Amino acid sequence: MEWWRNAAIYQVYPRSFADGNGDGIGDLTGLRTRLPHIANLGVDAIWLCPWYPSPWKDGGYDVSDYRDIDPLFGTLAEAEKLIGEAHDLGLRVIIDIVPNHCSDQHPWFRNDLRGRFHFRQSETPPNDWRSRFGGSAWTQLEPGAWYLHLYAAEQPDLNWDNPVVRQEFRDILRFWLDRGVDGFRIDVADGLVKDFTKPDADAPYSDQDSVHEIYRDWRRIADEYDDRVLVGEMWLPDPERFARYLRPDELHTAFNFDFLCCPWDATAFRQVIDATIAAHAPVDAPPTWVLSNHDVTRHVTRYGRENTGFSFADRQHGVPTDRAKGVRRARAAIMLAAALPGGLYVYQGEELGLWEVEDLPDELREDPVWHRSGFTDRGRDGCRVPIPWGDNEKTWLPQPSEWQALSVAAQTGESESMLSHYQRVLQHRKELTGDLTWLELGEDVLAFRRDEFTCVVNFSSRAISLPGTAFLTSTEVEGGQLPPDAAAWIN
């Protein structure tokens, strides 16, 4: 079977993963020494958020050179070593590629090559498109000369109607494929093509039909190599439109954000799971299951709130959360996500049970969302705080003091820890096979079989009787009674 069809992939945000030189910032040396932590979890691959040279106006998603490594992290030579070392540990390496926009410090923008961007002459902003980080999507380079940026002003959108842009990205893909990367996570995969002739209300900067040509082209390139994979980041409301990106000659997989956004509710999860499987089947693509990433509130915090869903429109910053409940649910949630057929993503730190850090001093915030929202949305820094290893590190965003108890050192070998739980879940996950069949075990209970295996998740507020003896549970189970907010795996 193709490895990516059921892979568990660990997401690394390099700046906040492991610091090898003591400057408080994660780097490649740190990551290389900590690769065994990732391999011991039992995942198949890592996905690295951008590691390219960047002015860091959007967490590295403002790339100024697509063929090098930011000096903050190390060198290209070290990156090549890292790829080799990961492979030696049995881990594939997927890197982020950011084709929708580059940094305003990229040589193309600095050298005023306007045809490679979207420039318009006008007295006022050419249209009403909004930046996804707040404010207008247009900024003037000089009076009357506006350029488009769907994100921060320091991230001018590239013009994919220009063949030079297309050729450049073909070359960038080959540059990294030749260096051994196993694939790409494509940032804003739905956004590359813009149709300025359509009305603003149609959102003609997202999911335009002709974007698919680009991925057919990229797929041909990936297929020139062995086993390489293209993973799309698309936040699209319609599962059928989403699945079009996963047709056999386009991307291999994509992130399932409906699952990530889903509130802690049996009916809602069942709907999302059914809709996901139904949308993926016709294109023969594997679904994926995602609980967290570097853009969203960590799920320990979400699941402990009254409103457990996620939405960018209101990330509920500071809304009270019951952390113990969030942790209980997170232990059950990974058992749900890992039991489902398809791929799985694990965001660094979730294996430690980290929560969203909501009390960062505002002056330390780096996410452009904070200032572009007119200081109303505190943005994504709280899920990007460096993860604790247990050596009392000083980090670029400060860790809560309670995190020392959650450090990798503190949790290693402790059988009840979240880390040990993730290790068990991910090890057993490798044995799962077969399609999903729902079982009816009562209201607010999700239960399904895959071949001989059964997964039960109790979303209700009462204990339920398990239909067999569990070999793995998210919490202690006595007398075959699964408590609320808990999961069990049965063979």
Residue 191 sits in the site that holds ligand NOJ (CB under 6 A): no
Integer Cα distance of 302 and 309 in angstroms: 7
C-beta of 79 vs 383, nearer to ligand NOJ: 383
CB of 323 to ligand NOJ, least distance (A): 25
C-beta of 158 vs 490, nearer to ligand NOJ: 158
CB of 464 to ligand NOJ, least distance (A): 38
Backbone φ and ψ for 269, nearest 5 degrees, come out as -65, -40
Integer Cα distance of 409 and 428 in angstroms: 23
C-beta of 58 vs 350, nearer to ligand NOJ: 58
Residue 37 near residue 86, CB atoms below 8 Å? no
Q: Which residues inside 57-86 make contact with ligand NOJ, applying CB under 6 A? A: 58-59, 61
Integer Cα distance of 445 and 482 in angstroms: 11
Q: Which two three-digit tokens encode residue 334?
A: 């990974």
CB of 165 to ligand NOJ, least distance (A): 16
CB of 101 to ligand NOJ, least distance (A): 7
CB of 372 to ligand NOJ, least distance (A): 11
C-beta of 61 vs 117, nearer to ligand NOJ: 61
The one catalytic residue among 187, 207, 233, 295: 187
Integer Cα distance of 82 and 175 in angstroms: 16
C-beta of 136 vs 423, nearer to ligand NOJ: 136
Residue 38 sits in the site that holds ligand NOJ (CB under 6 A): no
Q: Which of 321, 290, 295 is nearest to 307 (CA)?
A: 321
C-beta of 384 vs 421, nearer to ligand NOJ: 384
C-beta of 11 vs 473, nearer to ligand NOJ: 11
Q: Which residues inside 208-237 make contact with ligand NOJ, applying CB under 6 A? A: 233
| Neighbouring residues of 89: CB distance < 8 A, sequence distance ≥ 6 | 35, 36, 38, 39
How many residues contact ligand NOJ, by CB under 6 A? 10
Interface with ligand NOJ (CB under 6 A), residue from 19, 70, 104, 187: 187
CB of 97 to ligand NOJ, least distance (A): 11
Q: Which residues inside 39-58 make contact with ligand NOJ, applying CB under 6 A? A: 58
Residue type, 324: A
C-beta of 151 vs 215, nearer to ligand NOJ: 151
Q: Which two three-digit tokens encode residue 201?
A: 């209300």
Is 226 annotated as catalytic?
no
Backbone φ and ψ for 424, nearest 5 degrees, come out as -65, -45
Residue 188 sits in the site that holds ligand NOJ (CB under 6 A): yes
CB of 251 to ligand NOJ, least distance (A): 16
Q: Which two three-digit tokens encode residue 412?
A: 């290693």
Residue 441 near residue 459, CB atoms below 8 Å? no
Rg (CA), the chain: 22
Integer Cα distance of 297 and 308 in angstroms: 11
Backbone φ and ψ for 158, nearest 5 degrees, come out as -80, 150
Residue type, 154: E
CB of 156 to ligand NOJ, least distance (A): 12
Query: Tokens 């795996």 belong to which residue?
Result: 489
Give the x/- contact pattern for ligand NOJ in 139-168, rule: CB under 6 A.
Answer: ------------x-----------------
Q: Which of 12, 93, 44 is nearest to 386 (CA)?
A: 12
C-beta of 135 vs 480, nearer to ligand NOJ: 135
The one catalytic residue among 112, 200, 202, 224: 224
What residue is closest to ligand NOJ based on CB? 61
Residue 295 sits in the site that holds ligand NOJ (CB under 6 A): yes
∠ at Cα 68 (62, 74), nearest 5°?
A: 100
CB of 133 to ligand NOJ, least distance (A): 8
Residue 470 near residue 489, CB atoms below 8 Å? yes
Give the x/- contact pattern for ligand NOJ in 258-287, rule: CB under 6 A.
Answer: ------------------------------
Residue 287 near residue 343, CB atoms below 8 Å? yes
Residue 99 sits in the site that holds ligand NOJ (CB under 6 A): no
Q: What does DSSP assign to residue 101?
A: B
Integer Cα distance of 54 and 105 in angstroms: 8
Q: Which of 15, 73, 23 is nearest to 394 (CA)?
A: 23
CB atoms within 10 A of CB 309: 16
Is 356 annotated as catalytic?
no
Enzyme catalytic residues: 187, 224
- Which residues in this chain contact ligand NOJ in the complex, by CB under 6 A? 58-59, 61, 98, 151, 187-188, 233, 294-295
